[in-house]
Amino acid sequence: MGSGKRGLLTAALTVVCAVTVLAAPGAAFAAPAPTPAPTTGGSPSPTPTPRPGKDLEEIREKLEKLYHDAAVATDAYNAAEEKAKKQSAEIVALAKKIDQGQQRLDKLKNQAGAAARDQYRTGGLSSTAQFLLSDDPGQFLDGAGRVLQGQQAANKLMAEMTRTQKDLRQYADDASAQWKKLDANRKAKAAAKKKIQKQIDTAEKLESRLEKKEKERLAQLEQEAANKAQTAWLDTGVLDDIDGKATAQGKKAVKYATEQLGKPYVWGAEGPAAFDCSGLTSQAWAAAGHPIPRTSQEQWKQLKHVEVEDMRPGDLVIYFDDASHVAMYIGDGAIIHAPRPGRTVTIAGAGSMPILGVVRPDA
């Protein structure tokens, strides 16, 4: 194998080994609450009437949007990473084909060279010429067979060399195309990473200005919002109709997800120490022996849709209009999910967020 081909194969293998999950620091929920500045002396300055409840509610909504945008970017990052892994594997396969094809071509060239050398040793006369000059009938018949065989072998050799050269050109073109796609996805990952970090950094700055009591109250407001949404969902009577039983694989997936309770959310992570939302669900189903797409958006696109009333433990609940969040239904109106940075894998109400729909991995 030439140095160029070795370089391609080595580079391709390096790409595959280098595809790693990047982690972003988890940050607890945070946001600032304006505090009125005291006036001094006899020069009064206008001081707005503090409205901590309203201010914190606005902060909660802003944080919710920041983390939602980070989740969308995380899905884009994960999708680009999955594509990069696939393209890296294809590049490696193509590099191996190029190497094998070149070895085959070298062997064919050696065979053609040997035939040429043999012709030279016979005085420059081809087998056809030797056959035509023969006066011996036996040798004539013998030679006729050899000539035919020689012609067939030569034609086969040339056809195989042509085909091998064509294959090598196609492999090289395919490898070049995959390298371009790989580079495009590398840039997409970098852009998504930058956006994720921007959203999380903004949230961290908001939190850094909060007092301890404000943080506690903010957490309380978040829980109240989730409880309100869950109650509204349950009030529709939907739980009365949900009585599906988990399959054997569904039970395994739920068991895996349950064992991850308390582990931190880290964007781009798929275990074993940390997870993002789709990292948790994809790994849970992989552990159950049924691999599914890596991202929540692809899970929504590719897996079978079922009605909410028909869902059973192990099914995946997809949230928000853009399918940017996913959780696993575990029964009794509850889910397990990895919420967002600063949170851990936890149990929540299935209706605590806007439901887009439900998908079934083992349909």
Q: What is the pLDDT of residues 162-200, one digit of tens each?
A: 888 887 888 778 778 888 888 888 888 888 889 898 999
The residue from 68, 290, 305, 337 that is catalytic is: 337
Confidence of residue 153 (pLDDT cuts 50, 70, 90): low
CA dihedral angle for residue 284, residue 287, residue 293, residue 297, rounded to 10 degrees: 0
Reported confidence tier of residue 239, pLDDT bands at 50, 70, 90: confident
Helix H or strand E segment including 316: strand 316-319
Q: Residue 264 — pLDDT band, cuts 50, 70, 90?
A: very high
pLDDT tier at 144 (50, 70, 90 boundaries)? low
Q: Give the whole-angstrom CA distance, residue 214 versus residue 216.
A: 5
Sequence-separated (6 or more) residues with CB below 8 Å from residue 228: none
Main-chain phi, psi angles of 307, to 5 degrees: -70, 150
Mean pLDDT is lowest, of 30-34, 83-87, 331-335, for 30-34
**Known catalytic membership, residue 337:** yes
pLDDT band at 284 (very low <50, low <70, confident <90, very high): very high
Q: What is the chain's mean pLDDT, rounded?
A: 79
Of 274 and 116, the structure prediction assigns the larger pLDDT to 274
- Predicted pLDDT of residue 34: 38
User: For the chain, what is the radius of gyration of the CA atoms?
Assistant: 33
| Per-residue pLDDT, 53 | 54
Question: Does pLDDT of 271 surpass 60?
Answer: yes
- Tokens 């594509």 -> residue: 83
In this predicted structure, the answer to whether residue 257 has a pLDDT above a threshold of 50 is yes
Chain segment 336-361, per-residue pLDDT in tens = 999 999 899 999 999 999 999 999 99
pLDDT tens-digit series, residues 199-232: 999 988 988 888 889 988 988 999 999 999 999 9
**How far is CA 47 from each of CA 35, 37, 51, 211, 215, rounded to the nearest angstrom?**
10, 7, 12, 20, 23
211 in Cβ contact with 137 (< 8 Å): no
Is residue 313 within 8 A of residue 329, CB to CB? The reply is yes
| CA distances (Å), origin 144, targets 135, 157, 174, 197, 362 | 13, 20, 45, 79, 66
Q: pLDDT tens, 18-69?
A: 333 333 333 332 333 333 444 444 444 443 333 445 588 888 888 989 989 9
17 is catalytic: no
174 versus 238: the higher-pLDDT residue is 238
Distance CA 7, CA 147 (A): 44
pLDDT at 317: 98
Of these residues, 17, 68, 290, 325, which one is catalytic? 325
- As a whole number, mean pLDDT of residues 238-267 equals 93
Q: Tell me the pLDDT band of 114, cut-offs 50, 70 and 90.
A: confident
pLDDT of residue 84: 82
pLDDT at 15: 36
Cα–Cα distance measured from residue 176 to residue 187, given in angstroms and rounded to the nearest whole number? 17
Hey, what domains does the chain have and what are their CATH numbers? 53-207 (1.10.287), 212-360 (3.90.1720.10)
Catalytic residue, from 68, 277, 290, 305: name it: 277
User: Which pLDDT does position 24 carry in this prediction?
Assistant: 33
Neighbours of 49 (CB within 10 A): 5
pLDDT at 123: 55
Amino acid at 180: K
82 confidence band (pLDDT: 50, 70, 90) = confident
